[in-house]
Chains A and B, each alone.
Chain A
Amino acid sequence: MLSLTINGKKREFAAGLIKATLSALLDELKINHATIVAEVDGEIIKRQDFDETKLSSGQRIELVRFVGGG
């Protein structure tokens, strides 16, 4: 079991369901990689590094994107 806190909410993934990388997680959540930025445990992950970023249980992941604002 892979247990992650994503945008403040705890989520669990069957270990076999995703290869434990950030890219695979985004695919699993059906999130377009090109439109978001990610932080893992407070560290910004560049988009080109999504594939190589390994995830492990207990990590805090923030996924943010641009929205309308003044």
Chain B
Amino acid sequence: MADKLIIAGREFNSRLFVGTGKFSSNEVMARAIAASETEMVTVALRRVDIENENDDMLKAIDTEKCQLLPNTSGARDADEAVRLARLARAASGIEWVKLEVTPDPYYLLPDGSETLKAASILVKEGFIVLPYINADPVLAKKLQDAGAATVMPLASPIGSNQGLKTKASLEIIISQATVPVVVDAGLGTPSHAAEAMELGADAVLVNTAIATAGDPVGMATAFMQATQAGRLGYLSGMAKGIATANASSPLTGFLRDGE
């Protein structure tokens, strides 16, 4: 099926993006990534722990198949996010960046004005910017106008597994966007991913729900299938909900005469 997602000129066959945090080991992460069939994985930047030299987690990711998407997690304002993006580019040569600016450590909700400010700077510096935002249709439009490659509105707070709490706003964003819409954060179950895709999202990003599952590889497969099912449902023209029953079997019969 020629239903490709295109972001900044790159084609993706998979509409499931996978985050690499919280896995119990690089080995489990690698198997979950393979099972998810994802072609976009997020990574974060952190200080090297000088006392405890850890393995290089990038070795566990097939970067031929998967686009690496460094994030700016930990940034609390535009300046910190820009600095992290530049470091990530220096570290990897990759110009893609998941821009996230989250000043509030409790809900990790993104700061829209700082995100817009950072996005404008990074776009001018040649970055491919995928901003993580609250489900704010006006902000989504402003970011699109500023040159963002996608918008990534949240379904619910990061890691909360609450599903599509922002559904009505997501629908508005999807109806207005001219760049791909990636529903990010809070998708806790495969059905949440399917629901987002049925709404018309172009992709979903999942991390916690896969990484912390009892069987991350099984859950990665489940999210892969749910994302595909939701997408195919959306493309196939879904039946509309109505208030009363509408029989799917013929009601005319032979049990009673005169009906």
* Interface of A toward B, CB cutoff 8 Å: 6-9, 29-32, 34-37, 39, 44, 46-47, 62-70
- Tell me the minimal C-beta distance from A37 to chain B in angstroms: 4
Residue of B nearest to A64 (CB): B45
CA distance A32 to B50 in the complex (A): 11
Please indicate which of the listed interface residues A7, A35, A46 has the most CB atoms of chain B within 10 Å of its own CB. A35
B168 at the interface (CB under 8 A from A): no
**Inter-subunit contact B208/A66 (CB<8 Å):** no
B141 at the interface (CB under 8 A from A): no
Stretch at the interface among B17-25, B196-204, B213-221: B17-25
CA distance A38 to B142 in the complex (A): 33
B residues in contact with A69, CB < 8 Å:
19-21, 42-45, 71, 73, 207
A residues in contact with B256, CB < 8 Å:
none
**Inter-subunit contact B21/A66 (CB<8 Å):** no
A residues in contact with B159, CB < 8 Å:
70
**Inter-subunit contact B73/A37 (CB<8 Å):** no
**Inter-subunit contact A64/B91 (CB<8 Å):** yes
**Inter-subunit contact B71/A63 (CB<8 Å):** no
- Tell me the minimal C-beta distance from B20 to chain A in angstroms: 4
**Inter-subunit contact A64/B57 (CB<8 Å):** no
Residue of A nearest to B46 (CB): A67
**Inter-subunit contact B45/A65 (CB<8 Å):** yes
- Tell me the minimal C-beta distance from B220 to chain A in angstroms: 14
Interface of B is mostly: mixed
Please indicate which of the listed interface residues A6, A62, A65 has the most CB atoms of chain B within 10 Å of its own CB. A65
- Among B44, B87, B205, the residue within 8 A (CB) of A68 is B44
**Inter-subunit contact A64/B92 (CB<8 Å):** no
- Tell me the minimal C-beta distance from A24 to chain B in angstroms: 15
CA distance A6 to B29 in the complex (A): 30
CA distance A67 to B207 in the complex (A): 14
**Inter-subunit contact A35/B58 (CB<8 Å):** yes
CA distance A10 to B48 in the complex (A): 15
**Minimum-distance CB pairs A-B, first 6:** A69-B44, A70-B19, A70-B207, A37-B91, A68-B20, A35-B56
B243 at the interface (CB under 8 A from A): no
**Inter-subunit contact A31/B48 (CB<8 Å):** yes
**Inter-subunit contact B47/A63 (CB<8 Å):** yes
**Inter-subunit contact A31/B47 (CB<8 Å):** no
- Tell me the minimal C-beta distance from A59 to chain B in angstroms: 16
CA distance A8 to B49 in the complex (A): 11
**Inter-subunit contact B50/A29 (CB<8 Å):** yes
